[in-house]
Amino acid sequence: MARSRIAARLASPQPPRQPAHPDISEQMIERLVRHFYGRVRADPVLAPLFDRVVDDWEPHLQTMMAFWSSVMLMSGRFKGQPVPKHKALSRVAPRDFEIWLNLFRLSAHAVCPDDIAELFVERAERIAESLKRGMFGLAAGDFNQT
Ligand code: HEM
């Protein structure tokens, strides 16, 4: 009996993973990504970190749109490897993430309604923590000690 219930559950389709908010669209993600990397390219600390690696910005922007589409819309469009890519960036310091997140927060609130902006920021903060752990082996509370 128990086994047939499990078999039935396995055979039935899984509920689809939901977008983080019904008003988030690919167009909103594109506006956010373009706005944010416009700020990054104007930032005196972050711009040189990107300029060393990113020659052609349009493919990077397309990658980042696919990334945020996968994170927020569950589209599965992103097929990258953020941790090894960031580990290879030898000049990035933990405190650079604070600048990155501040700019991202400004862009999110400039482009999206506040409730949606906060959803983007929450995800970005969590992903930043896991990237930092991968890059520097830091725990969340160590953010300000470096
Ligand atoms: C100080 C902070 C950061 C710096 C300097 C930085 C820099 C970069 C650079 C230079 C690349 C291009 C790497 C390459 O193509 O080889 C990149 C890729 C990427 N970044 Fe960041 N990044 C930072 C933080 C973040 C955060 C917080 C997120 C996510 C919320 C993020 C998500 C990504 C993703 C998804 C890619 C593409 C990875 C891939 O193609 O596999 N980055 N980043």
**How much distance in Å is there from the Cα of 82 to the middle of ligand 1?**
6
State whether the beta carbon of 41 lies less than 6 angstroms from ligand 1: no
Report which protein residue has its CA nearest ligand 1's atom 28: 128
Averaged over successive runs of 10 residues, the pLDDT of the chain (146 residues) comes to 61 76 98 98 98 96 98 97 95 97 98 98 97 83 50
66 belongs to a structural domain: yes
What pLDDT is stored for residue 6 in this prediction? Answer: 64
What pLDDT is stored for residue 3 in this prediction? Answer: 59
8 belongs to a structural domain: no
State whether the beta carbon of 95 lies less than 6 angstroms from ligand 1: no
Provide the residue type at 77 as one letter. Answer: R
What pLDDT is stored for residue 96 in this prediction? Answer: 98
115 belongs to a structural domain: yes
Tokens of 141: 């509370």
What pLDDT is stored for residue 33 in this prediction? Answer: 99
What pLDDT is stored for residue 1 in this prediction? Answer: 47
Domain holding 122, by residue range, is 25-138
31 belongs to a structural domain: yes
Q: Which mutation among 85, 102, 119, 133 tests ligand 1's pocket best, with the greatest number of atoms within 8 A of CB? A: 85
Which residues have C-beta within 8 Å of that of residue 28, sequence separation ≥ 6?
111, 112, 116
79 belongs to a structural domain: yes
20 belongs to a structural domain: no
107 belongs to a structural domain: yes
Tokens of 92: 């990035």
Nearest to 100 by CA among 130, 135, 124, 64: 124
143 belongs to a structural domain: no
- Distance separating the N- and C-terminal Cα atoms of the chain: 57
Q: How many distinct structural domains can be found in the chain?
A: 1
Contact 140, 97 (CB under 8 A): no
40 φψ region: left (φ > 0), alpha (ψ -120 to 50), beta (else): alpha
**How much distance in Å is there from the Cα of 114 to the middle of ligand 1?**
24
What pLDDT is stored for residue 17 in this prediction? Answer: 81
State whether the beta carbon of 53 lies less than 6 angstroms from ligand 1: yes
State whether the beta carbon of 104 lies less than 6 angstroms from ligand 1: no
Half-sphere exposure of 27 (CA within 13 A, CB side): 1
CATH of the domain at 129: 1.10.490.10
